[in-house]
Structure 1
Amino acid sequence: MPTGRVRWFDANKGYGFIATDQGKDVFLPAAALPQGTTTLRKGTKVEFSVIDGHKGPQAMGVKPIAAGPSLVKATRPKPDDMAAIVEDLIQLLDKAGNDLRRHHYPSPADSKKLATVMRALADDFDVQE
């Protein structure tokens, strides 16, 4: 059974590609994923069968062998840095809360800054093992 690594997979599109150990790309449809699996992380080592699809080789019966590396986990800030970021976020939220108590939403610039910081911080905390 051939093996390879997931080059990319987009659950919204319902497909991706596997780079085989022989260096060829194989189409990866969502239907080929194991039951209960909706996505595969880039770099995940997989074992699969190959059939000839109407546009070239296509993977079927995909079985993950080893999880791919977590880019988020590898680039996660140090705890001391995260503490400073959390404290800054608390100050931004406190300012936004005070504005809301006065029946005013924060300015568009402050709202955008707050939303950006919260999304980035959420990504740093949400590391998939």
Structure 2
Amino acid sequence: MPTGKVKWYDTDKGFGFLADDEGGDVFVHANALLEGTTALKPGTRVEFGVMDGRRGAQALSVTVLDQAPSVARKLHDKKRKPADEMVGIVEDTIRLLDGASMQLRKGRYPDAAGSARLAAALRAIADTFDGS
């Protein structure tokens, strides 16, 4: 049986499209979903039968192989650092931002190394605060 990924699926309309592993698009209707499956998320790996319909390939008997990863679940699985550890990171980031501000006032961006440090610090702070 062919396999592929869900390109998009509209639960309200009851249809969507799959991208088969050979690169083709396959129409999928809600009737092709096996019992217990009511929706498909983009990126979900599926296995399906195919028939040629009037408008092209159409999926039959769609079986979910692997669910698409959930970004929300990944964020909530992260552990927060203790607040006292965050103090140093925030203060270092403030210093980096001050330095970047001075460079920008002079009409230029910080050098590549400084920009990379600032970006890494901002990502660390964002991930920690967002991991609530």
Same-fold status (TM-score > 0.5) = yes
How much identity, in percent, do the aligned residues show?
A: 48
Q: Does 1:54 align with 2:54?
A: yes
Distance 1:77-1:66 versus aligned 2 partners, 3 A rule: closer
Distance 1:53 1:72 in 2: 37
The DSSP-based 3-state class of the residue aligned with 1:38 is: coil
How far 1:78 sits from its partner (Å)? 5.9
**Moved >6 Å (runs of 4+):** none
Question: Where do 1:60-75 residues align within 5 Å?
Answer: 60-75=60-75
Question: How many matched pairs?
Answer: 83
CA deviations 1:29-70 (Å, max 9, x no partner) are 000001121101111110000001121100001111111111
Task: Supply the distance in 1 between the matched residues of 2:72 and 2:62 (Cα, whole angstroms).
Answer: 25
Question: TM-score scaled by structure 1?
Answer: 0.57
Match runs of 1:1-129 below 5 Å: 1-76=1-76
Q: Which runs of 5+ in 2 are unaligned?
A: 81-130
Give me the TM-score of the superposition, normalised by structure 2.
0.55
Specify whether residues 10 and 2 from structure 1 end up closer, same or farther in structure 2 by C-alpha distance, changes over 3 A only: same
2:8 and 2:74 mapped to 1: Cα distance? Answer: 18
Of the two, which has the highest radius of gyration?
2
